[in-house]
Homo-oligomer: A and B are copies of this chain.
């Protein structure tokens, strides 16, 4: 199907993939411009369609590509031997930062793809949505030692609060990066702050 593209040398593939992920991540499906993608990738308009046939196919290719990476290089890498939820979350966070380094637009693209309502791709997306979010959520909280939690509290809700709190912090970092037009945050500082939040949650949630 996409063999023409996949036979390219890796460097050119990366250029095209990153350009496309970036454009879709920033503008969403409908507003993303194929012209911007080819400009950024340094290829001609015709060539993009030589590889991917349509904008829609390109998007779905990127979706599958992203999901594959997120599954194999993120979810599957979560070590469920750490049973303490905060040790686990820290581990996952470090994994994510690593991945963002390698694929700067991957998570933003997948977030945009997950929430798009564009009628062109909605149907196809629904049919393949493996619920990355829920899959990630499940893996993140798999085999957790719940005995450490304060008694008398709904553990599912407790997990949700922890999940949302961490997601909130992550979004804050992303917003700050966007606003300051940095390409990358200072990950040491971020991790330090992240740990501070984990510490609070630990004190709160555990006995």
Given the complex of chains A and B, what is the CA–CA distance between A201 and B161 in angstroms? 8
User: In the assembly, what is the distance between CA of A172 and CA of B164, in Å?
Assistant: 10
Note all chain B residues with C-beta closer than 8 A to A165: 160-161, 164-165, 168
Instruction: With CB as the reference atom, state the residue of chain B lying closest to A196.
Output: B157
Residues from chain B with a CB closer than 8 A to the CB of A204 are 150, 204-205
A interface, by DSSP: helix, strand, loop or mixed? helix
B154 touches A160 (CB 8 A): no
What is A's interface to B at a CB cutoff of 8 Å?
A: 26-28, 30-31, 117-118, 150, 153-154, 157-158, 160-161, 163-165, 167-169, 172, 196-197, 200-201, 203-205
Given A153-B203, A160-B169; 16 other pairs, CB 8 A cutoff:
A27-B118, A28-B28, A28-B31, A150-B203, A157-B197, A160-B165, A160-B168, A160-B172, A161-B161, A161-B168, A161-B197, A161-B200, A161-B201, A164-B167, A165-B165, A167-B168
